[in-house]
Amino acid sequence: MIERIRGKVESGERLSAEECLYLYRHGDLLDLGALANLVRERKNGNVTYFIVNRHLNYTNLCVNRCRFCAFSREPGAQGGYAMTVPEIVEAATSVPGRFTELHIVGGLHPDLPFSYYLEMLSSLKAVLPNIHLQAFTAVEIAHIAQVAGLSVRETLEQLIAAGLGSLPGGGAEVFSARVREAVCPVKLSGEEWLGVMRAAHALGLRSNATMLYGHLETPEEKVDHLLRLRALQDETSGFMAYIPLAYHSGNTDLGGRPSTTGVEDLREVAIGRLALDNFDHVKSFWIMQGLKLAQVSLSFGADDLDGTVTEERITHAAGATTPQSLTRDELCALIREAGRVPVERDTVYTVCATGAPGGATL
């Protein structure tokens, strides 16, 4: 089987569900890495992308309380917070330094009105007109639509008019109804997540896609998840990057279950790269993977390390021990040491600066 898969990857043919499942069950780590690296270099050469961005988590109050989530708090619980719009603007503008993207996600707050989300975006745009606002997972969009009493499409139209630039890829978890019932029973279904993304892409909004692995899911369920992402991408071409997200066990209701290992993390990056032939980019989110493994993943299919990330609360609430931010120089040094050429991008992968010979400013 591996020879058949190798032949298909070399000739750029799409892998079947059966072949993806074989990779999960029997693929040798280094075989996976070599094949994924072939695809990665075919699509993105020797380049590794990163972005100079900031994260902003506007509230941790959430009506969903997913069992893997260490970030959220029940309304009224100790440690809960919700930022006002002026506080959000202050947080976005108070740290000195250049950045191109603000990445905004939060819990599903029970009471915030639709006007809060519109005002958040328009107020940020008023003071940061050139900053791309990548905001609200599909889960939040569905919640905001419910709060607004509007369809997802109408909600997105108003958010876009207020300044929304793209959607992050979170909240996908694993699409399997069995897994969702066990780990996030109140969250929107896999079909609904894909439906929000379909609506966003139809309006010209680009997005990312994720899969949260390392908890209760089976290889079959992961293959199903990846192939459903691939099918939607065939339909819309709206996804920019796939981001495998490692489950972190600290402070969660699924505690007792160990966090993922380095081998598992590398296998997910590589299989994602091999299964999602119609995705341009695979991102190794260093906040979750850890810096050392993220660096190695650049030879296992990943071509993007995400960003400088000031103020990340969600993964750190679940025990991530990575730093809360990196400087642009630190990121470039990590990429160069891995033998790759650093390229600073904006949210939609327009090149801002490249470290390639003759390429100016890195």
Q: Choose the stretch contacting ligand SF4; rule: CB under 6 A; options: 68-76, 111-119, 175-183, 347-355.
A: 68-76
The dihedrals phi and psi of 250, each to the nearest 5 degrees, come to -60, 140
Eight-state DSSP code of residue 258: P
Q: Which is nearer to ligand SF4, 46 or 189 (CB)?
A: 189
Q: Which is nearer to ligand SF4, 33 or 107 (CB)?
A: 107
Is residue 69 part of the contact set for ligand SF4 (CB under 6 A)?
Answer: yes
Q: Choose the stretch contacting ligand SF4; rule: CB under 6 A; options: 57-65, 84-92, 123-131, 224-232.
A: 57-65
The nearest distance, CB 66 to ligand SF4, in angstroms, is: 3
291: tokens are 């810096």
Contacts with ligand SF4, 104-123, as mask; x by CB under 6 A: ---xx---------------
Contacts with ligand SF4, 121-150, as mask; x by CB under 6 A: ------------------x-----------
Q: Which is nearer to ligand SF4, 65 or 153 (CB)?
A: 65
The nearest distance, CB 186 to ligand SF4, in angstroms, is: 8
Strand partners, 209: 242
Residue at token pair 């993977």 = 289
Which residue in the set 65, 125, 153, 313 belongs to the binding site for ligand SF4 (CB under 6 A)? 65
Sorted by sequence, the CB contacts under 8 Å of residue 284 that are 6+ apart come out as 269, 293, 294, 297, 298, 302, 304, 305, 306
Is residue 72 part of the contact set for ligand SF4 (CB under 6 A)?
Answer: yes
Q: Which is nearer to ligand SF4, 8 or 65 (CB)?
A: 65
Size of the site for ligand SF4 (CB under 6 A): 12
Is residue 302 part of the contact set for ligand SF4 (CB under 6 A)?
Answer: no
The number of beta carbons lying within 10 Å of the beta carbon of residue 138 is 26
Give the CB-side neighbour count of residue 17, counting CA atoms within 13 A: 12
Do residues 173 and 179 touch, judged by C-beta distance below 8 A? yes
Q: Is 309 left (phi over 0), alpha (psi -120 to 50) or beta?
A: left
The nearest distance, CB 212 to ligand SF4, in angstroms, is: 9
- Measured distance CA(130)–CA(230) in Å, rounded: 32
Which residue in the set 15, 32, 62, 240 belongs to the binding site for ligand SF4 (CB under 6 A)? 62
The nearest distance, CB 112 to ligand SF4, in angstroms, is: 14
Count Cβ neighbours within 10 Å for each residue of 7-27 and write b for 16 or more, e otherwise. Answer: ebbeeeeebeeebbbbbbeeb
The nearest distance, CB 239 to ligand SF4, in angstroms, is: 20
Do residues 253 and 68 touch, judged by C-beta distance below 8 A? yes
- Measured distance CA(362)–CA(268) in Å, rounded: 30
Contacts with ligand SF4, 161-190, as mask; x by CB under 6 A: -----------------------x--x---
Give the footprint of ligand SF4 on residues 252-271 (CB under 6 A).
none
Give CA separation, 250 vs 75, 209, 247, 321, in Å: 21, 24, 9, 11
Chain contacts with ligand SF4 (rule: CB under 6 A) = 62, 64-66, 69, 71-72, 107-108, 139, 184, 187
